[in-house]
Amino acid sequence: MLNPKRMGEWLQINIPTEWEGKTVDEIFRHIWEAPKKTTHQFRMENKVLLDGSRVNWNMPLAAGSKLLLHLFEEEELRVRPNAQEIDILFEDDHVLIINKPPFMNTHPNDRDTDTLMNAAVFYLQAQGESRNIHQIHRLDRDTSGAILFAKHALAGSILDRMLEQRGIKRTYIAAVHGFFSQKKGIINKPIGRDRHHATRRRVSPSGQAAITHYQLVKEDKNRQISYVKCWLETGRTHQIRVHLSHLGHPIVGDTLYGGQPTINRQALHAARLEFIHPFTMESIICHAPFTDLKEIFQPIDVFSI
């Protein structure tokens, strides 16, 4: 495990024994797998120092030497800060994990600046950090739960790659209509747009590859509801909602995909988020408590997901 230390606008990393003999170029390209554009920027702008001096990117590093990365400079904000309470599940100098409430978009568009990203930028500004955060993944407006942001560009680029390579596991809990004949399975069905509806998706042979794993958690015989946990290998729009509906088990409240309107939104919650922290190498596991739909999710212990 690494123990990086923030020093003003710089991050100090004491080179561990397992990095001895590697070069800074190898750390960026092979350990962090940072994009070429990001690596080039750090090289050209002298954003990496070794023991206080400009580093030779191709010189083997010695264990115990001090690598400095310029990560925390102030930035001109691209998103308007908006004061709202946010429920923070985990935070350090590099990442911010928030328990997103329902009925809130993740990121702004031309019409909507009342979003989770606007609230997160305000939160950082209130802490004295003028920073453009990076959204790593998204949740539908009516879906609640854990969502990951990066607090600087290098963390953002590394986490983007980790998400693409399935290094970030997101586990959801859904309440669906009916009972499953199989307690667990894999739904491997491509998803495309529904040409008859502007926002709806559907299983389509010409769509994009989409893979959802599911496992039964609990059944409510009286209400004819099953609780399933789902995790994704791909991140298509409405993926879990489309796949469960395709199986004949639409999510409760998800009227777009056949669910009954017994509650005011789809009963889908991002319950657990886990990944290996790219700068500390710690295993980060976050559970997101339910903030609404107590009448639906009351039987579920989110910390057991």
Note the pLDDT of residue 2.
Answer: 87
Q: Is residue 197 part of a domain?
A: yes
Rounded average pLDDT over 145-168? 96
Percent above pLDDT 70 for the chain = 99
Burial string for 197-218 (b: 16+ CB within 10 Å, else e) reads eeeebbbeeebeebbbbbebbe
Note the pLDDT of residue 9.
Answer: 96
Tell me the catalytic residues: 140
Note the pLDDT of residue 109.
Answer: 78
Which residue, 16, 40, 70, sits at the end of a domain?
A: 70
What's the whole-number average pLDDT of the chain? 95
Tens of pLDDT along 250-275? Answer: 999 999 999 999 999 999 999 999 99
Neighbours of 267 (CB within 10 A): 25
Q: How confident is the model at residue 222 (pLDDT cuts 50, 70, 90)?
A: very high
Which residue, 43, 70, 97, sits at the end of a domain?
A: 70
Rounded average pLDDT over 171-197? 96
Rounded average pLDDT over 55-64? 96
- The least confident of 17-21, 113-117, 123-127, 216-220 is 113-117
Domain harbouring 21, CATH code: 3.10.290.10
Whether residue 95 contacts residue 277, with contact meaning beta carbons closer than 8 Å, is answered with yes
Residue 1, pLDDT > 80, answer no
Q: Is residue 278 part of a domain?
A: no
Note the pLDDT of residue 252.
Answer: 98
Rounded average pLDDT over 169-180? 98
* Domains of the chain: total: 2
Range of the domain at 226: 171-269
Q: Is residue 175 part of a domain?
A: yes
What is the C-alpha separation between 41 and 294, in angstroms, rounded?
48
Q: Is residue 59 part of a domain?
A: yes
Q: Is residue 212 part of a domain?
A: yes
Q: Is residue 122 part of a domain?
A: no
Q: Is residue 104 part of a domain?
A: no
Q: Is the dihedral of CA 223, 226, 229, 232 positive or negative?
A: negative
Tens of pLDDT along 99-145? Answer: 999 999 998 876 677 899 999 999 999 999 999 999 999 999 999 99
Q: Is residue 290 part of a domain?
A: no
Tens of pLDDT along 276-302? Answer: 999 999 999 999 999 999 999 999 999
Which residue, 70, 87, 102, sits at the end of a domain?
A: 70
